[in-house]
Amino acid sequence: MSLRNLFQREGSDSPSTYLETGMHTVEDLRHEYLELVDDSLDRGGIPVGCVEVEIRHLGADKNGKPLFSAMLRMTAWERRSGTRLLLGLPLLERGVRKLLAGSWLPDVSSFAGLWLHPATPVLSRDVAREVSVLLAQIEQQFEGAKPAESMWSMPPELQSDPPTGS
């Protein structure tokens, strides 16, 4: 036997580079999506204590791949991170999608996007006032509107706290 034949591999012995969907469980995929979203939140300066992340499996897309979405539940209001989350949601989703594009996940699954939901504590009168003032200030800077003319002025229905429940 020649030295060349000793180290030569047959084509069938080479490992496949094709990644099959069936190799990963829904829980495996959910965990990978969670890591991507958590990384994007961290990069965006949004601390873990302000938002809960739930990765939902929505079934299958039209190609039969598992379909996932990231549900963000704003659990606490902190002015800086809350503003970043509310105003920066498109940037956050863009960041998640960029990280996703550099991973193996699109080969075996599909991503339906980020969804944001404020929890009951974030719906309090105090938070609503602060958010309405922030939005009025933004409108005033870019449109020259007076705060009293803002569509985000505190309407009467926000003068009291909403019923409890998430």
As given in the structure block, the two tokens for residue 60 are 């299958």
Element (H, E) at 115: strand 110-118
Tens-binned pLDDT, residue by residue, of the chain (166 aa): 565 555 555 554 544 444 445 688 999 999 999 999 999 999 999 998 899 999 999 999 999 999 999 999 999 999 999 999 999 999 999 999 999 999 999 999 999 999 999 999 899 999 999 998 888 888 888 755 565 555 555 555 555 555 665 5
- Helix extents (H) in 104-154: 105-108, 125-143
94 CB-side CA count, 13 A: 6
Contact predicate 48/35, CB 8 Å: no
In CATH, the number for domain 24-123 is 3.30.300
Q: Domain locations in the chain?
A: 24-123
- The alpha-carbon radius of gyration of the chain (Å, integer) is 23
